[in-house]
Amino acid sequence: MYIRSLFAGVVRGKKLTRIFGLLIIGLSALIYDACNNPNKENTIATNNPTVEHKVSLIKLLVGDGNNFIRSVNLGEDFKAVLNSEKKIADGNDTDDISYTFPIDTLQPDSVNEPIDSVNYYKITYYFDKEKLNEVDEEVYLESDSIAAVVLERFSNYMTTKYGDYVSQNDSRVWSFTHKGKKKWITLSDKSEEYDNGKLLLVFYSEDI
C-alpha cells in the first residue's frame, strides 16, 4: 500500500512538473515575441482600413493641383467630367452638371454622407459645344469671419500657383495662359448677400 501510494505521488509530481514546464515555455515565447516586435500593436492599428486620411481644405475643394480644377481640365467632354466625381450628380443636362458635397477634410471620400446645412460646397460644370469651359464652386461656411479666413487661404494658394491677382468688381482675378489658351480664375466673398459665409470660385476659359 505504501509503495502504491508513493508511486502515485511520484506520477502526480511528474505531471505537475510537466505542466509547470509547459507554462514556462509559453511565457518565454510571449516575452520573446514582445521584445522582438515592440511595434506589433501599432502596426495592426496602422493597417486598419478605417484610419482617417485627412486632407487640406484647399485640396478637398479644388484638388491636388495636378489638374486645372479638381480632377479635370477645361476642354474635357461630358463623360470625362461625370467620371471624375465619386458621387451621382444632383442634376445634369447637355449644358451643365451639378454636385453638392459635405466639407469633410477628415474623410474626404465620404461624398455620399448627409450634407450639413451650414458647411458644404456646390460645384457646377458648364459646357460649350460639348466641351467644359467653366466651373463654378460655391463654398458655404458657418460665418462671414470663417469665409474671410478661407478667402485668404485660397488667395495665397492661387497666388503661389498663378501669380498676383488683380481686383475687379469686388473679386480677385488671376489670368494666365496655359498651353496657348487664356484662362481666368475669380474669387469672391459673397457673405453679405448670404445669411452666413459664402465664397464663389469661377474657373473659366473662352478658348477651349
34-53 pLDDT, tens per residue? 444 434 333 323 333 344 45
- The residues that bridge with 128 in the sheet, in sequence order, are 131
CA 155 remoteness from chain centre: 21
Q: Is the pLDDT of residue 12 over 90?
A: no
- Of the candidates 162, 180, 73, the one whose C-alpha atom is nearest the C-alpha of residue 172 is 162
Local confidence band at 79 (pLDDT 50, 70, 90 cut-offs):
very high
pLDDT in tens, 123-158: 999 999 999 999 999 999 999 999 999 999 999 999
Q: Once rounded to an integer, what is the mean pLDDT over residues 197-201?
A: 97
pTM reported for the whole predicted model: 0.72
C-alpha cell at 36: 522582438
- Alpha-carbon gap, residue 136 to 60, rounded angstroms: 15
Q: Is the pLDDT of residue 4 over 60?
A: no
- Of the candidates 132, 140, 111, the one whose C-alpha atom is nearest the C-alpha of residue 67 is 132
Residue 194 DSSP symbol: S
- Alpha-carbon gap, residue 13 to 78, rounded angstroms: 83
